[in-house]
Structure 1
Amino acid sequence: MIKIWLNHWFSAAYNIITMIKQDNPDFHIIGTNENQRSALATVCDEWYVEPVVKGDEYVDYCLSFCEKHEVDVFMPRREMLSISRRKAEFETIGVKVMVDDFEIVNILNHKDSAYELLKKRGVSTIPEYIIVTNVSSFQDAYAALEKRYQEICIKFVHDEGGKSYRLIDNNRKGYSALFKKQNTRMTYDAIVEALSERETFSPLMVMPNLSEEEISVDCLKTSKGLIMLPRIKDTSRIEKLCFRDDILERTQEVYDAIQLECPCNIQFKYLKGIPYFLEVNTRMSGGVQMACMAGKVNIPSIAVNKLLGVEKDWKINKEEQYVTHVEVPVIL
């Protein structure tokens, strides 16, 4: 029996687990979370509550958990970077870990180092950006970019899910402001005031706002080639699987520069008809189930079997189609 452990994942992993079991009914899924009443518990064969610890202490817990529960494949979400740093320790006890080597994962999890690496390796669609760590350098960066671009945005270099993204919007008053999503918008003066609370702050990226379509590409390297499932994202959560040549070419270009072995998600945004690189998530995305359903390719199953040394056949359905998902009630 193959035992697969998913540690503290986001709720969308409900679909990832379902897809693995769909193709591999004999696989035994173990789940853990800080929350005993997570929805993931309903699709796992075993369920445990995790301790609230971080860093190396958490990795020690993971190593002990793998040995105690005879885990064959570990699919980490929490503390991926720390786990990646010590991946060899898991391999020593016979556990295959679905995370790439620390050197590349560390780079890709910091936007400034990721952009620098990709530029050096010839990726052609890196947007212009300036890294700042104090108020005066932010003011200089804004002044320089404002001359060339209609909209400017900021986000911290080390961020997840775009939580720190802010569009600099100096027209946040009046009736029209009622129709704008305000929590992602700040005036220039408000940002300066907020940043002024620190003499220096964590590296902040100042860049043109890429205001057109966002494309999320779910990827996995296999012996048959690179699986690429591009979705045009939409705020309505209705997304379109769309195999545009410019996106496929740029995805391949980014992938050739990083050569990840595990599933990843590469994101682009358009500005004036040009798709610019946004970021690489070194894990499966929260919407991978939508891409897989529309493309008729089971990335979670293929990825797990790849770790186990089994190459699963696949063929992408390249019919362009819309896809969404709905929330359903689950008894915990």
Structure 2
Amino acid sequence: MVKVWFNHWFSAAYNIMSMIKEDNPDFRIVGSNENRVSVLSAVCDEWYQEPALKGNDYADFCLDFCREHEISVFMPRREMLAVSRRKADFEAAGVKVMADDYGILEILNYKDRAYQELARRGVSTIPEYRIVTTPSGFAEAYRELSGKFREVCIKFVHDEGGKSYRLIDNTRRGYAALFRKQNTRMTYDAVFEALSEREEFSPLMVMPNLSGDEVSVDCLNTSRGLIMLPRIKDSSRIERLSFREDILEKTREVYRAVKLECPCNIQFKYLDDKPYFLEVNTRMSGGVQMACLAGKVNIPSIAVNKLLGIDREWEICRDERYVTHVELPVLL
């Protein structure tokens, strides 16, 4: 029996689990979370609560969990770096881990290192940026970049889901500001004041705000070729699967630079009709199910079978299609 374990994933993994079960009805899905109650428990065949551990201690827990519950495939999200560092230990225990090698994950999970290394390896679409750790460093970086670009934004180097992204918007004051969504906008003065609460802070990236289309490409490298499903995102919940050749070529460029074998999500954003690389998320995205539905290809299932040594056939529907999602009640 094949048992696939998801550890402490975000709630959108409900769809990833469902897609694996739909295509592989004999597989058992095992889930765990620090929280006893989670929507993921509704789709799992087995459900467990995790201890509050970090780093190598958590990797030890995961290894013991895999042995105890006879896990075949481990799909980590929480503490993925710590798990990938110990991948050989899991493989020695007969467990396939859906994570690329630690060396490349460590680089890609830190934006400054990712930009430096990918530029060195020939990725041509790295935007101009500055890395700062002090209020004065931020002030200098903002002064330089605001002289070159219409808009400037910031985000911390180690971030997930763009939580720290802020657009520096000095028109945020006054009556007109009441009609604009403000949660990701801050004035320069407000940012400087916030950063000035620390003499030194975690590395912060200052860069031009790429104001054009955002494209999220769900990817998986297979023996039959590279699956690429580019979703164009906007402020609505409706996304568009569109196979723009410039995005496909820039995605191939990233893959030529880094040999990723597990599912990932590569993000680009346009400025003046040119796509710029934003980041690689070294896991399946929260919207992979929408891309797969529109493209008629099941990335989660193909990826699990690939780890198990099974080569699944696939063919992408390349029609441009709109896709969205709705919230449904789930009884726990």
Q: Same fold, TM exceeding 0.5?
A: yes
Q: TM-score range by the shorter chain?
A: over 0.9
Give the equivalent residue in structure 2 for 1:131: 131
Identity of aligned residues (%): 72
Superposition deviation, residue 256 in structure 1 = 1.1
CA RMSD, Structure 1 to Structure 2 (Å): 0.7
Q: Which residue of 2 aligns with 1:11?
A: 11
1:120 is displaced (CA, Å) by 0.4
2:325 equivalent in structure 1: 325
Q: State the partner residue of 1:89.
A: 89
Q: What residue in structure 1 maps to residue 60 of structure 2?
A: 60
Q: Which amino acid aligns with 2:48?
A: Y
Give the drift of 1:235.
1.8
**Equivalent in the alignment of 2:22:** 22
Q: How far apart in 2 are the matches of 1:179 and 1:50? A: 43
Q: Does 1:232 align with 2:200?
A: no
**How far apart in 2 are the matches of 1:95 and 1:289?**
25
SS at match of 2:232: strand
1:194-231 C-alpha deviation (Å, 9 max, x unpaired): 11111111111010000111000000000011000000
Q: Distance in 1 between matches of 2:197 and 2:253?
A: 40
Partner of 2:192: 192
Within-5 A mapping of 1:1-332 = 1-332=1-332
Q: TM-score, normalised by structure 2?
A: 0.99
Q: How many matched pairs?
A: 332
Residue 175 of structure 1 deviates from its aligned partner by 2.5
Partner Cα distance (1:325, 1:142) in 2: 38
Q: Deviations over 1:72-118 (max 9, x none)?
A: 10000111011011111101101000000000000000000000011
Distance 1:33 1:152 in 2: 37
> For the residues of structure 2 that align with 1:256 and 1:233, how far apart are their CA atoms?
25
Normalised to the residue count of structure 1, the TM-score between the two structures is: 0.99
SS at 1:183's partner residue? coil
Question: Post-superposition shift, 1:18?
Answer: 0.5
- Cα distance between partner residues in 2 of 1:92 and 1:50: 23
2:179 and 2:305 map into 1 onto residues whose CA distance is 47
Give the 3-state SS of the residue equivalent to 2:35 in structure 1: coil
1:35 is paired with a residue whose SS is coil
For 2:330, what is the secondary structure of its paired residue? Answer: coil
Secondary structure of 2:326's counterpart equals coil
Deviations 1:218-273 (A, max 9, x none): 00000011000000012211000000001001011011111100000000000001
Q: Distance in 2 between matches of 1:47 and 1:200?
A: 42
